[in-house]
Copies of this chain bind each other. A is one copy, B any other.
Amino acid sequence: MMDTTAGGRKTAFIGLGVMGYPMAGHLANAGHGVAVYNRTRARAEKWAGEYGGRIAETPAAAAKGAELVFACVGADDDLREILHGEDGALAGMSGGAIFIDHTTDSAVVAREADAAARERDLGFLDAPVSGGQAGAENGALTVMVGGTAESFAAAEPVMQCYARNVTHMGAAGNGQLTKMVNQLCIAGVVQGLAEGINFAQRAGLDGERVLDVISKGAAQSWQMENRGATMLKGEFEFGFAADWMRKDLGLCFEEAKKNGALLPMAMLVDQFYAHVQQRGGGRWDTSSLIQLLQNI
């Protein structure tokens, strides 16, 4: 990846999970000052041991003095917790600083956060990512950003240090809505692939050969190319967890109640993910949908 960032910005990063940890690491490697906060302090200490940087005791303390405050946490309520209150990031921010939320959460919480930031003359961007843990580690994420053009212009060059694509999708909330479209498309692709591969196996075909042939035509997909072989082998302990996919589909369903979109396939697939969870596969990759078809 070409690093187009100029280092030396004062930043904070809140939430050092599987995504945040390497993302914050790229910020530090690019020469930015990074103050970190993580709920489990031991992980922040590990991060600081690896990359340097300051460990803060609260989100507010991490955010204090930072021009850009990044977060990558679990869901809506986690974001609210690190954002608001006297220990929250907004309380520590000043001087037109911008809060960038990399969490995949709702468009509602994005607009809420945007309003709260505006009240304090701060900026806000909802900036969910795709590309998974590997994308975060390799600095090759896709970032879908909602918020003002001004905040986008200020934060975009810095996000480039862990991204391959950073695109402005319009007003606050639009980053999250774009990520929802992404997840809906994936749900269909993966279920189709699961039904196809299971059919191939039951029909006695050579699965690898089938995928090799059909991936050259109109059935081709990233999922086929990157998950087909592992589905054939029954390997699911990696990748994007069924738990996370179910959380994301839930965001789509909440939003669809408002915008009126029908999601019949996504709702069916969501039920299959519920089954995966019940089988103890909540941490399995989304491609584990095929297990339901195989274990009847």
Which residues of A are interface residues toward B (Cβ below 8 A)? Answer: 107, 130-132, 135, 142, 144, 164-165, 167, 169-170, 174, 177-178, 180-193, 195-200, 202-206, 209-210, 212-214, 216-224, 226, 240, 252, 255-256, 259-266, 268-269, 272, 292-293, 296
Contact = CB atoms under 8 A, between A and B. Distances in A.
28 contacts: A107-B203, A130-B214, A142-B217, A164-B216, A169-B210, A169-B213, A170-B206, A178-B210, A180-B199, A182-B196, A184-B192, A184-B195, A184-B196, A185-B214, A186-B219, A188-B190, A188-B195, A189-B221, A192-B266, A195-B261, A195-B262, A198-B261, A198-B262, A199-B261, A220-B221, A264-B272, A265-B265, A265-B268
Q: Which 3 A-B pairs have the closest CB atoms?
A: A188-B192, A221-B221, A185-B219
Given A130-B214, A188-B192, 14 more contacts: A144-B214, A169-B213, A174-B205, A180-B199, A181-B196, A184-B192, A184-B199, A185-B195, A185-B196, A188-B191, A189-B219, A195-B265, A199-B252, A199-B263
Contacts of A192: 184-189, 191-192, 265-266
A143 to B, nearest CB: 9
Given A202-B259, A203-B259, A216 B185 contact: no
B266 A178 contact: no
B202 A261 contact: yes
Contacts of A269: 265
Contacts of A193: 185, 188
A167 B212 contact: yes
Given A142-B217, A188-B191, A210-B178, A261 B203 contact: yes
Contacts of A203: 107, 174, 177, 180-181, 255, 259, 261
Contacts of A177: 200, 203, 205
A80 B272 CA distance: 40
A109 to B, nearest CB: 15
Nearest to A143: B213
Contacts of A263: 195, 199
B259 A216 contact: no
A178 B202 contact: no
Nearest to A174: B205
A183 B218 CA distance: 9
